[in-house]
Amino acid sequence: MKIKNYTPTKGFIWILLLIIFIAWLVYKCVPLTDKDQDALIHSNMERERIRLAEEFDSYTQEDFVRLPKFDSRKYFLIKRSGRFWLIPREYYGANGFTIRVIDIDKLIGKKWEGDIVVEGGFRVFMYSPQYYNRKADFLSSDVACKSNTFRKLFTWNGVIINIDANTYPKKITDNQYLDICLTALKILNEEVKEIHFVN
């Protein structure tokens, strides 16, 4: 018995194309739910943040060659808002630096009382202003670390500083937050160095 090869008719092909077109039309024309719209907006914002971070925070090998030589065992290099910063390796932390309790004692002379875990650390993130999509005015660093105006988010030399003490295992007081802020400011002002292209 000979088996015939099936060849679809023109009508079948047109109906199939019509069904695909209608499905596409329904997908495009039916409005998104609020949840879907929020997800789409959030996705677009994240994509834009990543693009801005690449534009303002990443450096190329060409950039690296044009910078002055530095001891990479003592410092790590980051770029924020188009500027280059050297941060001491003893405070190393991704996207900024980390403050430990012993740094607070060493830098501002505050000995914390109680059963504070010495090994713990507080993350201090450094962001380009372009990273934030909102148009908020951040406090400047000269008023951010005062007891009546204390903020965990402020600007320093055109860079957004975000102090994250939430990762710490113990609950800390407002005065201890202030100590962390003052320590971060001391590191930023005295130990973080800006470098520029030399050629």
Average pLDDT, the chain: 81
Q: What is the pLDDT of residue 92?
A: 84
Q: Is 109 left (phi over 0), alpha (psi -120 to 50) or beta?
A: left
Cα distances (angstroms) measured from residue 102 to each of 6, 34, 108 = 80, 48, 10
Q: What is the pLDDT of residue 196?
A: 92
Instruction: Give the sign of the dihedral formed by CA 57, CA 60, CA 191, CA 97.
Output: positive
Q: What is the pLDDT of residue 117?
A: 55
Q: Give pLDDT < 50 ranges for the chain.
A: none
Q: What is the pLDDT of residue 74?
A: 94
Q: What is the pLDDT of residue 116?
A: 57
Give 84-116 as a DSSP string: EEEEEGGGEETTEEEEEHHHHHHHH-----SS-
